[in-house]
Structure 1
Amino acid sequence: MTATAVAAAPLAGTAVRAVGDTVPVRVAVSRLRALGCAVERVDGAPPATVSAGRIDLLGTGGATSGCDIAWSTPDVPLTDERDVQAACGLAHLHGRARGGPRFLPVDYASVCAGVLAAQAVTAAALVLERGGPALRGSVSVAGAALLAVAPYVAEATATRGRVSALEAGEPPPFRSADGIRFEIETLDPESWLRFWRELDAPRDAIATGWAPFQRRFATAVCPLPAALFATLAALPFEVVRDTARECGVGAVPLRPMAEVTDDGPASTWRPHAVDVPPAPALPAWSPTGPLAGLRVVEATNRVQGPLAGLLLTLLGADTVRVEPPGGDPMRGVPPLAGGLSARFAAFNRGKDAAECDLKNAEGRHAAVDLAVDGHVLLYNWPPGRAERFGLGAGDLAARAPGLVRVHADGWAGGEPDPGTPATDFLVQAHGGIADLLSDGADPAPSLVTLTDVLGGMIAAEAALAGLLTRARAGVGASARTSLVDAARLLRLTGRGTAHRPRAGTPPVADPVSVAEAFPAAFTTVHGVALPRAPWTFTTLEGEVAR
């Protein structure tokens, strides 16, 4: 079986009317156009009830189907990106590593809301294809921000706001003797130890630095000993990079925006259809969510992949995670609540799990059987690993001709150096985001996982696009998205104005007060605040799913 390019975009022949000239509307329109949708723009401000804009799916009985976009949830009145960053914890988290609140100089929450709005429109189109009614979604910029900070909120509420004393030190990036600013990355403590020993760093600094370094994804802080910075500052970058390569560590310079010239793929989700006989029709829609009756098989870890799976779950899909024997190790990462990691719960609430040992044939066969019974296979393994497990497009095509495969990748073939880890902070460095975020200080990536979260949203978008392709064309599809795509979207949107001081901004909220201020955005399980769906969907008769 072979993979061939999709002849028509998932939303080809569909048209929407967009009202409002805000960042969320512009981003949503760009995503919908990329999926083949024709867009009619309406001048003027949106209605007061949809403060940030609206998108109507045309040809579905008036303006019933589509998505309304507001700045805030009903809990707290907010009027723009700066308000949202303050009230929803983004400013607190972005500044946490450097001693005080800092606003992101990009309209990050607005960009995320635009992607979520495009998902709502795509999900509504999919429901129509499955014989369901016209649905109207609603999303808010605040709701998008709350989804982005949800793992930090979960951790903070699990510890009841107790904050551990921070070690002395400062966060990366580093600077070499020849003046190059760069980030390093490894997820392996042995590689960390080998790298620093090769460079003759003090042993106590090596040991002290590992814990905050590997926890920075969860804490948004990374206080490293000064001796580690001094070690690298005494060496030319070429020596650091070569040593990193030998030790399995990534070392990536911070690229200025002007040097980032990659144009991106022809399609936002690099689609392919599988060349097999027609796929069976998707199950008829049932009124418990846009993806009700559909099954997602998820083999992911860390942030990007699990968040994509969470979004599909919150849209109503039945999701099962493929985990190693004994379960995903992230389940046991403190703080725990009800015997489960709070951070893991934030990304994986509502999912089932099946343990499969992919190191042996029996476990691989079990995983294949799960995938064959699903409608979506979502994974974020490194390139080539799915094929080694027997889960490539050609492996599954005959048994599951309608399967939608989504690879939530990192570099998507655009890594700066072979073997460079595909993680958030390296992508921010290489993708110009560190430069984009500069607000008067030296450029530095945010320690909020910006591309991981936005990348997860884009991967969920790819799954919806693939399902729509199956519903409309009767074929399965393979898609590949990446963290690089998230960085590109932020670059294309450009700098915002949230970092510019002005009167009237709400107080900057920390994660615990965020959960208290926006109770409708979270559900409480074992004392931990976990995210609810960022959308609501209604029919003419009433609410369908939150």
Structure 2
Amino acid sequence: MSTPVLSPVTTATPVTPAATVEVTARLLRAATDGTVPPAAVREVRLTADWAGPVTGPLAGEEAVQAACGIMHVHGRAAGRPLPLGVDYAATAAGVLAAQGVCAVLFARHRGLGLGEVRTSAAQGALLALSQYLAAATAPPGGSREPGAPGGATLVSAEGTAFEIETLDPEAWRGFWHRLGVPARSAGRGWGPFQQRFATAVCPLSGELRAAARAHPLAALRAAAEAEGVSLVPLPDGPVPEVPVEPVCLTAGPAYAPVPAGRATGALPLTGVRVVESTRRVQGPLAGHVLRLLGAEVVRVEPPGGDPMRGLPPLASGGSVRHSALNAGKRVVEADLRTAAGRAAVRALVADADVFVHNWAPGRAARLGLDADDLWRVRPGLIHAGASGFGDAYPPGSTPIGTDYLAQARSGLAAALRPAGEVPAPSLMTLTDVLGGLLCAHAVVAGLLRRERGGHGVRAASSLLSAAGLVPRPAVRRRARSPLELPVRTADGHLHLGARTAADLSLLARLTGPGTADPRAMAARFDRLPTAGWLERLALAGADATEVRCDLATLPGDPRFRDAVDPAPPDGHATVRSPWTFA
């Protein structure tokens, strides 16, 4: 099927990132094949460029990563800003673009006069940083960003890099006890390990790292298995071992839809009701995205509320990280371990269009809240399950479904790093964000199929399938020169454009006489502040981007005025909707 026409509606000559085109086309084929005529898809006017409403020159993936703060957050673990080695922002824009097109098609079928959608890589990058931006702009006393660097990747006696995962502090202590680490030392490592999802750093002690290096991988696996800890080695190759389809849409029972043409409102999912029972990032972000598209979202939380509400920093008595993903949702408390709690969910679903969860495999069936169960209550329901690994593992052997293990298993952890470096996941929650976007896309695609086909839909996605969506080198990782990494200036960091970094004669003239060695030239940038270098480079016709190293400055940057809302009193900055519809 042909991809939609990319119309020049946001700029005179918009440039659509290649990764965005690839991802958009792939997702639209899966969403509309056999359901929507290609001509109808092409009628939707789509603009997906680099900058969107962000003003100023953002002419590539790494410029977006530098300006929006991705390099800063990803580089926290290393103690310096670093680029992701993949087109992450452009991939996020591809999911947003496909989602926006499907949302417009759904709205048109229901009588809304929408025909145009705009999004961008910069908006995808900002959405991915929502939690980190909220933390950085929280009220005084809780807004300090983490300082101590350190990653969570460990290395065995054979030199094999691996990741471990557990959500249980006793399992953590038990694993290290089997490696000969005293309980006190293991306990000190639990806090950084548990908080790495929020802080993007994990400063584990040398004692823990040495204990891992003292044991072969087989012994480490045995210790992990005995304590219920997941352990995944990091492949050196960037390509997934087994390709995984991004989403799986399965038709459910037929139902009698309400006649089309009834919808009103400016957003494509106006009038859609979503019931969400999720936790952490992947599931709540899916609900957040659906709310931004216009849906009413009802969030089911355990009695006393989601424990994540207490995660610092706080504003107005609640976690700003939780607020970044859940503000605007109506909350209903229900204990799903009880018959009454499960009945409450069924009652909510009886009047809903969508049910979203990111429970562990098999839990929906054990609770009696799987698609087959809820279709008896609501035949036209879109039942969306966002898992960690889908069906990539045999039953009973699936690792804990969290971000960093998905990065490891998919090869994304290797693709992020240049050749010569040990593969390691980014501690920025890359697949949690892409997984949430992908789940929301599966929901919108399911709604479109339901409206046109008259049946409910089971929509499945995973962190692993989200990681596999990111384009990457087919065979091996590429080495980077020092000039392709952010260079330190007198007051910050600067990222040189690809052509500038490769033009050694130009850089030699600008940085002064001496050796033309790239490492030496990179070191000379500390002689002037960032603004001075930007002026010099611009006069020479060279491109470069200031690396944002403090997210708290982003809402006050006039270039981001139309993409980010500043923090209100006793609140935090928020990222605006990543789409414009017309």
Q: Give me the TM-score of the superposition, normalised by structure 2.
A: 0.82
Q: What is the CA-CA distance between 1:73 and the residue it aligns to?
A: 3.6
C-alpha separation between the residues in 2 aligned to 1:209 and 1:418?
A: 26
Aligned to 2:164: 184
| Range moving further from structure 2, 250-259 or 472-481 | 250-259
User: What is the 5 A alignment of 1:62-461?
Assistant: 65-77=44-56, 78-160=58-140, 162-163=143-144, 166-167=147-148, 170-257=150-237, 260-265=240-245, 268-281=246-259, 284-415=262-393, 418-439=397-418, 440-461=420-441
Listed one character per residue, the Cα deviations across residues 218-272 of structure 1 (whole Å, up to 9, x for unaligned) are 111111100000011101111111111111111110013267331224xx32111
Q: Given the alignment of the two structures, is residue 24 of structure 1 paired with residue 20 of structure 2, yes or no?
A: yes
C-alpha separation between the residues in 1 aligned to 2:386 and 2:94?
A: 19
Q: What is the CA-CA distance between 1:58 and the residue it aligns to?
A: 4.3
- Is 1:196–1:206's contact at 8 Å kept on the other side of the alignment? yes
Listed one character per residue, the Cα deviations across residues 282-325 of structure 1 (whole Å, up to 9, x for unaligned) are 78221231100010000000011111111000000000101000
Unaligned runs of 5+ residues in structure 2 are 8-15, 486-494, 501-542
Q: What is the CA-CA distance between 1:330 and the residue it aligns to?
A: 0.5
The percent identity for this pair of structures is 43
User: What is the 5 A alignment of 1:526-541?
Assistant: 526-538=570-582
Aligned to 2:530: none
Q: Given the alignment of the two structures, is residue 506 of structure 1 paired with residue 486 of structure 2, yes or no?
A: no
Aligned to 2:555: 515
CA separation of 1:59/1:73 partners in 2, compared to 1, >3 Å: closer, same or farther? closer
User: What is the 5 A alignment of 1:492-503?
Assistant: 501-502=496-497, 503=500
SS in 1 for 2:197: helix
SS in 2 for 1:298: strand
Listed one character per residue, the Cα deviations across residues 445-470 of structure 1 (whole Å, up to 9, x for unaligned) are 11111111111111001000110111
C-alpha separation between the residues in 2 aligned to 1:277 and 1:519?
A: 45
C-alpha separation between the residues in 2 aligned to 1:21 and 1:520?
A: 21
C-alpha separation between the residues in 2 aligned to 1:237 and 1:273?
A: 43
- Is 1:171–1:222's contact at 8 Å kept on the other side of the alignment? yes
Q: Could you tell me which amino acid in structure 2 is paired with residue 289 of structure 1?
A: L
CA separation of 1:164/1:467 partners in 2, compared to 1, >3 Å: closer, same or farther? closer
C-alpha separation between the residues in 2 aligned to 1:419 and 1:488?
A: 17
Aligned residues: 504
C-alpha separation between the residues in 2 aligned to 1:76 and 1:315?
A: 24
CA separation of 1:21/1:180 partners in 2, compared to 1, >3 Å: closer, same or farther? closer
2:32 pairs, out of 33, 36, 55, with: 36
| Range moving further from structure 2, 503-512 or 365-374 | 503-512
- Is 1:279–1:476's contact at 8 Å kept on the other side of the alignment? no
- Is 1:428–1:434's contact at 8 Å kept on the other side of the alignment? yes
Q: What is the CA-CA distance between 1:70 and the residue it aligns to?
A: 2.3
Instruction: Give the number of the structure whose alpha-carbon radius of gyration is greater.
Output: 2
Q: What is the CA-CA distance between 1:359 and the residue it aligns to?
A: 1.0
Q: Could you tell me which amino acid in structure 2 is paired with residue 163 of structure 1?
A: R
C-alpha separation between the residues in 1 aligned to 2:317 and 2:21?
A: 41
CA separation of 1:480/1:191 partners in 2, compared to 1, >3 Å: closer, same or farther? same
Q: Could you tell me which amino acid in structure 1 is paired with residue 581 of structure 2?
A: F
Q: Could you tell me which amino acid in structure 1 is paired with residue 413 of structure 2?
A: A
C-alpha separation between the residues in 1 aligned to 2:143 and 2:371?
A: 47
C-alpha separation between the residues in 2 aligned to 1:442 and 1:515?
A: 35
Q: Could you tell me which amino acid in structure 2 is paired with residue 68 of structure 1?
A: T
C-alpha separation between the residues in 2 aligned to 1:535 and 1:335?
A: 28
Q: Could you tell me which amino acid in structure 2 is paired with residue 534 of structure 1?
A: P
CA separation of 1:325/1:88 partners in 2, compared to 1, >3 Å: closer, same or farther? same
- Is 1:411–1:483's contact at 8 Å kept on the other side of the alignment? yes
Q: What is the CA-CA distance between 1:431 and the residue it aligns to?
A: 1.0
SS in 1 for 2:105: helix
CA separation of 1:130/1:492 partners in 2, compared to 1, >3 Å: closer, same or farther? farther
Unaligned runs of 5+ residues in structure 1 are 1-11, 39-55, 539-546
C-alpha separation between the residues in 2 aligned to 1:299 and 1:279?
A: 25
Aligned to 1:486: 466
Q: What is the CA-CA distance between 1:29 and the residue it aligns to?
A: 1.6
RMSD, aligned α-carbons: 2.5
- Is 1:28–1:118's contact at 8 Å kept on the other side of the alignment? yes
Q: Give me the TM-score of the superposition, normalised by structure 1.
A: 0.87
- Is 2:312–2:319's contact at 8 Å kept on the other side of the alignment? yes
Aligned to 1:3: none
Q: Could you tell me which amino acid in structure 2 is paired with residue 514 of structure 1?
A: L
C-alpha separation between the residues in 1 aligned to 2:129 and 2:235?
A: 26
- Is 1:273–1:478's contact at 8 Å kept on the other side of the alignment? yes
Q: What is the CA-CA distance between 1:82 and the residue it aligns to?
A: 1.4
- Is 2:435–2:466's contact at 8 Å kept on the other side of the alignment? yes
SS in 1 for 2:546: coil
- Is 2:27–2:98's contact at 8 Å kept on the other side of the alignment? yes
- Is 1:217–1:449's contact at 8 Å kept on the other side of the alignment? yes
Q: What is the CA-CA distance between 1:89 and the residue it aligns to?
A: 0.3
